[in-house]
Structure 1
């Protein structure tokens, strides 16, 4: 077991989740799908950093796929469904519910169960 490779597969959903939060923050500049909004968005710092994070994530994903079977690697992408709402709660003050917590527990259990198989 290579700790660096295992760490990357765990870091990946965090990078994508951070990108999602930044995309949400940058969405304030999108009034409509018109040229003016797109130009304003292209100058938005949050949007630019989110794109950079997604580029880094894409490169990491290719590296991860070189070292893990797709069916094992993709399990960990499910962590994004836990991390994004948690980050939106922390950074955007969006609410969390007990249903979310129950769903998050199911996702973690599912990843553990499938990984152990």
Structure 2
């Protein structure tokens, strides 16, 4: 993959990861007595959906220019980025099993990228 295509792939993974954080914020902002308005006018949910839409379009462009075999292993990075973002912005601790799993995922991505 070219450096630009690799950068676009990583940006897609970052967008999906940030979208997950926004979905979490949206879920926390919905009151216990849910109503249709609490979903429709939820700014976190709107931001997450917009980001997911833009990221999906970018991902389609990535897949037009790269094989799924090369691009998709990068999505595994989301399993590392999401907990890191949650730790950074929501003060949730990262536990040892997450770190070990993340290291294994990184090893798998490195192996798949060489293939």
Please identify runs of 4+ aligned residues in structure 1 that moved more than 2 A. none
Structure 2: gaps (5+ residues): none
1:79 aligns with 2:80: no
Aligned to 2:3: 3
Residues 40-51 of structure 1: matches in 2 within 5 Å? Answer: 40-51=38-49
SS in 2 for 1:78: helix
Aligned to 1:31: 32
Q: Shift of the alpha carbon at 1:19?
A: 0.6
Aligned to 1:19: 19
Aligned to 1:60: 58
Root-mean-square deviation over aligned CA pairs: 1.4
SS in 1 for 2:70: helix
Cα distance in 2 between the residues matched to 1:109 and 1:63: 26
Greater Cα shift, 22-31 or 51-60: 22-31
- Say whether the 8 Å CA contact 1:26–1:44 is kept in structure 2: yes
Q: Shift of the alpha carbon at 1:91?
A: 0.9
Question: Structure 2-normalised TM-score?
Answer: 0.91
Q: Shift of the alpha carbon at 1:94?
A: 1.3
1:116 aligns with 2:114: yes
Cα distance in 2 between the residues matched to 1:3 and 1:109: 20
Cα distance in 2 between the residues matched to 1:47 and 1:78: 24
How many equivalent pairs are there? 114
How far does the alpha carbon of each residue in 1:55-110 deviate from its partner, in whole angstroms, 9 at most, with x for none? 01110111000011112111001111111111111111112111111111111111
